[in-house]
Structure 1
Amino acid sequence: MQHTLEEFLRALRAADVKVSPAEAIDAARTAATVGYADRELFKDALCATLAKSKDEVVRFDQAFETFFTRAPFALGAPPPDEGEGREGGQETPGLAQSPLAQMLLKGDAAGLAQSMEEAAARAGVAEIRLSTQRSRLTRRLLDEMGLAEIEKIIANARRMPDGQGVADRLDAAKKGLVAQAQAFVERQHELYASGSGKQLREEMLAKKALNADGGIDPVDLVMMQALVKRMAKRLADRYSRRRHTANRGHLDVRKTLRKSMAHGGVPFEIEWKVKKVDKPSIVAICDVSKSVAAAAQFLLTFLYALNEVVDRLDAYAFSGRLIPVNAILDDNGVEGAILKVLQTIGFQQTDYGRALEDFVDNHIDRLDRHTTVIILGDGRSNFADPRLDLMHLIQQRARAVIWLNPEPESYWGQGDSVMYRYVRFTHVAKQCNTLGQLERIVEDVLRTYSAH
Structure 2
Amino acid sequence: MQNYIENNIARFVHILRHLGIQVSILETITSLQALALVDILNREHVKMALSATMIKNHDQQEIFDQAFESFFVAPEIKKEQEQVWEEKQAEGHRLLEEAETDLAYKGETLDLTEEEKLYYAQLPEEEKRKIREYLAASSVPDDRYDRFKPTLECQVRGSLRYWKQRLGEAADYRIVDSEMDDPVIASIVDELSEDSSILYEDMKRIGERDLPQVTNLVKMLSRKLATMISRRYRMSKRVVKLDLRRSIKANVRYGGVIFKLHYKQKRIQKPKILLICDVSGSMSRYAAFVIQFIYGLSAIIKNIESFIFAEELEHVSSFFDARQSFEDTMVKLIEKSRIWGKGTNMGNALFSLREQHPLLLTSNTVVIIVSDTKTLEIDFAEEELIKLKRSVKDILWLNTLPQDEWKDLPSVQKFKRHSQMYECYTLAHLERVIRTQFLY
Q: Which has the higher contact order (CA 8 A, sep 6+)?
A: 2
- Scaled by the length of structure 2, what TM-score is found? 0.47
TM-score by length of 1: 0.46
